[in-house]
């Protein structure tokens, strides 16, 4: 393995590693714009120039291989000067409209200017090249060409990751700009990643635009429930409002995040969100659980089907199972038919749309649960499941449905918390378990497990847990044993 020296200290580089990578792995940060670890090397921004002994010119560390015996300087006067000069070049035609730019606070022009620039401007304001702003280039993306530094991360993302090739650099020199083929829109299913990887305010999310200054945002690590892939996400929120979902890159599940996944938080603020318990179309005043009990207890348990849901957490499913066993006793328990869990688009989207499908199979195995056959729905008078599972099975039966949204299902609708509002364990397609973290609170909605626990007590049979942590213990023992988080 090549031995190199960076800023006077010796390090070992890995075979095939570039100077930038070797430095970063050893905690030495070299500034960069065009370099992105998941994209090919373009080498055009020239921000990562370093000094290498015996080489007369500065070299770009993003593309220069770390070779045995190299003596590299990342902090020399020559390097510092080069960084300042590159920043000056990048900023001369930049509008410096930070006060109205959404990127402010997470902008590499701002950050590097503070770290490496701090130069006075010697470029005349009136000489700046003006370009088009506020281009709605896709459903989720706004392009500001004045702020673009032409690092081509966006172009390479569309070429190499989505392979949709929408973008290119039009024109030459300082007339260059990012463009899209005439008549096309930048609407590939991963388009919002472009806003993430854009190091400046050129591509911003139209959804997030002008809604919050990023420095107010707090972050919870969580898991995306958009499909069975179970991408790790960052939920960003402030004052009990979720503002955006970002990818949380990791080696096991995902580097990127799809647009649909990023939009899952919209369920929190949907106009159709169910407000209160509804029984036969009537909103219940107060807590309403006794009314729910009154209705459910009239049903013949033998003609009731409890269907576990791949859209609910392991804990909620466990509560549902225990409720069926301990409270309803003679009911039948099912799970829905699942789809193949595999990537459908070569990137992240899974053929199985439910986030907890893998957990269903464990439930099936551990408790010998059979798959619900919609053709035999006629054998039952009453169903207990969640709304999404009912939709998936095309059930139009009277039942007790846990639901985020108001819908036309017959019987009882319980307004539940979203998993942005409560904790729950999900097992992804690769059998990795992850727990959602509640970023926001919503006291007006129910947790599935708590509803079932309280209903069970009305039945006179206490479920074998008092609180969530006891339920989690049961799940750990029965379901999650041996699963990596």
Partner 1 sequence: MKILLEKSAFDIETYLKNGGYEALKKALSMKREDIIEEVKKSNLRGRGGAGFPCGLKWSFIPKTEGPKYLVCNSDESEPGTFKDREIIHKNPHSLIEGMAIAAYAIGAQTGYIYIRGEFARETRIIEKSLAEARSKNFLGSGILGRNFSFDIKVVRGAGAYICGEETALLESIEGKKGQPRLKPPFPAVKGLYQCPTVINNVETLASVPYIVLHGGSAYASIGVGKSAGTKLFSVSGPVKKPGVYEIELGMPFKKFFEEELGGMREGEKLKAVIVGGSSVPVLTAQEAMAANLDYESLQQAGTMLGSGGMIIIPERQCMVEALFILARFYHHESCGQCTPCREGTGWIEKLMKKILEGKGASEDVDNILSISENMMGRTICPLADALAMPAISFIKKFEHEFNAHIKGNCNLCRK
Check binding of 42 to partner 1 (CB under 8 A).
yes
Site stretch for partner 1 (CB under 8 A), options 119-127, 193-201, 284-292, 445-453 = 119-127
Select the span of 49-57, 322-330, 343-351, 469-477 touching partner 1 (CB under 8 A).
49-57
Site mask, partner 1, residues 61-80, x = CB under 8 A? --x-----------------
Query: Which of residues 52, 150, 314, 357 is near partner 1 by CB under 8 A?
Result: 150
CB 478 within 8 A of CB 366: yes
By CB under 8 A, residue 24 contacts partner 1: no
- Closest approach, Cβ 169 to partner 1, in A, equals 7
Binding mask 311-340 for partner 1 (x = CB under 8 A): ------------------------------
CB nearer to partner 1: give 128 or 432.
128
Question: Which of 86, 192, 198, 393 touches partner 1 (CB under 8 A)?
Answer: 86
Please identify, using beta-carbon distances, which residue of 58 and 404 lies nearer to partner 1.
58
Q: Which is nearer to partner 1, 82 or 242 (CB)?
A: 82
| Minimum distance, C-beta of residue 62 to partner 1, in the bound complex (Å) | 9
- 38 lies in the site for partner 1, by CB under 8 A: no
Closer residue to partner 1 in complex, CB, 7/88: 88
Of 2, 12, 76, 92, the one binding partner 1 by CB under 8 A = 92
Q: Which of 1, 26, 123, 272 binds partner 1 (CB under 8 A)?
A: 123
| Binding residues among 166-195 for partner 1 as defined by CB under 8 A | 168-169, 171-176
Q: Which of 88, 283, 454, 478 binds partner 1 (CB under 8 A)?
A: 88
Whose tokens are 């929190």? That residue is 268
Decide if residue 41 touches partner 1 (CB under 8 A): yes
53 binds partner 1 (CB under 8 A): no
Nearest to 146 by CA among 175, 112, 172, 117: 175
Q: Which residues here bind partner 1, judged by CB under 8 A?
A: 41-47, 49, 56-58, 63, 82, 85-86, 88-90, 92-93, 122-124, 127, 129, 149-150, 168-169, 171-176
């Amino acid at each position: 393995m090549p031995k190199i020296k960076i800023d006077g200290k010796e390090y070992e580089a890995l075979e095939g590693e570039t100077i930038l990578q070797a430095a970063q792995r050893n905690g030495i940060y070299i500034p960069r714009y065009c370099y992105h670890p998941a994209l090919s090397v373009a080498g055009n921004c020239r921000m990562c120039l370093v000094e290498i002994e015996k080489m007369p010119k500065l070299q770009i560390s993003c593309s220069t291989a770390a070779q045995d015996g190299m003596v590299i300087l990342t902090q020399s006067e020559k390097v510092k000067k080069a960084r300042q000069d590159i920043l000056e070049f990048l900023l001369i035609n930049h509008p410096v409209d930070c006060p109205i730019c959404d990127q402010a606070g997470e902008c590499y022009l701002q950050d590097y200017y503070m770290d490496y620039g701090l130069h006075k401007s010697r470029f005349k304001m009136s000489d700046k090249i003006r370009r088009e702003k506020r281009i709605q280039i896709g459903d989720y993306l706004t392009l500001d060409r004045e702020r673009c530094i032409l690092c081509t991360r966006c172009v390479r993302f569309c070429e190499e990751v989505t392979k949709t090739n929408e973008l290119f650099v039009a024109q030459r020199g300082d007339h260059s700009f990012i463009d899209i083929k005439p008549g096309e829109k930048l609407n590939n299913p991963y388009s919002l990643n472009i806003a993430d990887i854009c190091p400046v305010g050129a591509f911003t999310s139209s959804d997030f635009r002008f809604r919050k200054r990023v420095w107010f945002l707090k972050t919870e690590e969580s898991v995306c429930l958009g499909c069975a892939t179970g991408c790790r996400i960052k939920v960003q929120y402030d004052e009990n409002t979720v503002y955006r979902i970002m990818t949380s890159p990791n080696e096991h599940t995902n580097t990127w995040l799809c647009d649909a996944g990023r939009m899952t938080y919209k369920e929190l603020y949907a106009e159709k969100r169910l407000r209160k318990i509804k029984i036969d179309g009537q909103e219940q005043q107060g807590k309403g659980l006794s009314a729910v009990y009154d209705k459910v207890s009239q049903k013949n348990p033998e003609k009731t089907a409890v269907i576990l849901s791949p859209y609910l957490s392991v804990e909620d499913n466990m509560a549902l199972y225990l409720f069926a066993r301990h409270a309803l006793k003679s009911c039948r328990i099912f799970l829905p038919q699942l789809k193949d869990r595999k990537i459908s688009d070569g990137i992240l989207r899974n053929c199985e749309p439910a986030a907890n499908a893998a957990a269903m199979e464990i439930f099936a195995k551990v408790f010998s649960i059979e798959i619900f056959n919609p053709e035999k729905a006629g054998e039952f008078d009453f169903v207990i499941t969640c709304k999404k599972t009912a939709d998936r099975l095309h059930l139009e039966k009277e039942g007790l449905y846990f639901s985020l949204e108001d819908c036309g299902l017959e019987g009882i609708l319980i307004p539940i918390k979203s998993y942005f509002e409560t904790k729950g364990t999900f097992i992804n397609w690769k059998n990795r378990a992850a727990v959602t973290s509640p970023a926001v609170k919503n006291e007006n909605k129910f947790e599935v497990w708590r509803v079932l626990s309280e209903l069970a007590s009305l039945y006179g049979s206490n479920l074998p847990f008092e609180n969530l942590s006891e339920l989690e213990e049961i799940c750990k023992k029965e379901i999650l044993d041996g699963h990596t988080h």
